[in-house]
Chain A
Amino acid sequence: MRTKLILALGAVAGPLLLRNLYVIMFGVPDEMEQGPIYRIFYYHLPAFLTAAACYFGALVASVLYLAKKDQKYDAFAVSATETGLAFAAVNLITGMIWGRIIWGIWWAWDPRLTWALICWLVYFGYLMLRTAIDDPTERAKNSAVLSVFASASVAVTWKAIEWWRTQHPGPVLSIRTGGVQKIDPMMENMIYMNTLALLLLAAIFVLVRLRQEEVQREIDGLRRYAHAMN
């Protein structure tokens, strides 16, 4: 059933990603001030939104684990966090490339950049914590608690650095600007389309990673059983 779902998602995500790439490269016009480099934005912002969705999924799964103590929620939380980290890395790297061209520097201590980096470090810590605990129940419990703290900290950091020095462009999507159209509707639609494509891709990654995690747990269980039998 899960294999069919992965294949179905892939059948939608693959052509959509290719179609989006074609439109981004040849369909949408250059931005007036930035020129062709602005096209990186079609991956930069959707990658951020996808990462945020993954982190939110991880938070929900972690809370559910703490409430129900079911290992499947822990498996989902780690799968979503790993996927979120990969998309957050895409967001950071594409932002840095854009910054190098437009600002002339790879990195600026700007609120949004700083927040994205802190967020990445916090969730990377989550994965490091998991590698340091052998007992599966202990690992699931401690990771779930850390995930809750990570979400809270990330929310506070977001507000904290908003008042800090800023250089990053402001929101452009009409859903964030209260309906005010700041970019061409064609460009805005393209952002939504690529967000959808990356979300589908993230769902595939989570499902594949979830299967790996379940198989790993089964192997660990068999190993413990074999050890007990000896």
Chain B
Amino acid sequence: MTTLRHAAAIARKDLRSEFRTKESINSTLSFSVVILLLFSFAFDPSPDMIVEFGGGLLWMVFAFAGALIVNRSFARELPNDCIDVLVSSPASGASLFLGKAVAAFVLLFGIECICLPVFGIFYNITWWRSLGGLMGVLALGTWALACAGTFFSALTMNLRLRELMLPMLLYPMLIPALLSAMMLTNTLLTGQPIPSDFTVWLRILIGFNIMFTTLSLYLAETILVR
């Protein structure tokens, strides 16, 4: 219970700090829209094509946006040595990680919810036909991004070339989650429910989340304590 209370306090702090400055939100949102725009120039997709690879396109945008959000998770604690104060506070490494992952999840999910209508307008697609399922897949995929991303943000926060190292380490690890989310989103964009032979992707996505969340919570203290 104490861990969850501490995690909630950390998440509130991060979100309040972000909503005051809006530096991550504004840059990530504009970056996502620019990427959506660039993809439309690059592929010039027809309506049939976009149903086929819309899920992949969306998750590429979310993965790029996610790296920007999680990169700031721990980096924002480096000026004035705030990270040392956080680590020496009564909050455990696990609660510190959990709070930051939740804050990254909320921010990223919010940005995705804004990007979806933009995607619908730019690519002329009715994405809301399986809204419940789509939101569920978005939530699961976003947690995978936020959880693994926040952990790797902690791992790379003191490195030279941090901005380069984070995506280099994160994206290959995220492939199972991204692949599953893309497959499921592609199906849901057609307006059909998830077919029975596609539940395996759902299981992979859930399994990935369980495994990475458990490992991250277990190893967060090791990474954060110097």
Contacts and interface: CB of A to CB of B under 8 A. Distances in A.
A142 B223 contact: yes
Contacts of A129: 155-156, 159, 165, 169
A152 B215 contact: yes
Given A66-B222, A141-B223, A156-B211, A132 B172 contact: no
A138 B158 contact: yes
Interface string B64-99: 000000000000000000000000000000000000
Interface residues of A, number: 26
B160 A149 contact: no
Contacts of A118: 172, 175
A145 B165 contact: no
Interface string B146-160: 000001000110111
B225 to A, nearest CB: 9
Interface in B155-184: 155-156, 158-161, 165, 168-169, 172-173, 175-176, 179-180
Interface in A58-116: 66
Contact of A152 (B155, B175, B211): B211
B155 A142 contact: yes
Given A128-B165, A142-B223, A156-B211, A133 B159 contact: yes
A75 B179 CA distance: 34
Contacts of B208: 156
A128 B222 CA distance: 20
Given A142-B223, A146-B155, A160-B204, A125 B169 contact: yes
Interface of B: 151, 155-156, 158-161, 165, 168-169, 172-173, 175-176, 179-180, 200-201, 204, 207-208, 211-212, 215, 219, 222-223, 226
Contact of A145 (B160, B207, B223, B226): B223
B109 to A, nearest CB: 23
A141 B225 CA distance: 11
A132 B160 contact: yes
Contacts of A156: 176, 204, 207-208, 211
**Main SS of the interface on chain B?**
helix
Q: Which interface residue of B160, B161, B175, B226 has the most chain A CB atoms within 10 A?
A: B175
Contacts of A161: 179
Given A128-B165, A142-B223, 17 more contacts: A66-B222, A129-B165, A129-B169, A132-B160, A132-B161, A132-B165, A133-B159, A148-B215, A148-B219, A149-B215, A152-B211, A153-B172, A153-B176, A156-B176, A157-B175, A159-B176, A160-B176
Contacts, number: 69
Contacts of A160: 175-176, 179-180, 204
A159 B203 CA distance: 11
B213 to A, nearest CB: 12
Nearest to A155: B211
Contacts of A146: 155, 169
Contacts of A121: 172
A145 B172 contact: no
Interface string A191-219: 00000000000000000000000000000
Given A128-B165, A129-B165, A122 B172 contact: yes
Contacts of A157: 175-176
A146 to B, nearest CB: 7
A125 B204 contact: no
A77 to B, nearest CB: 15
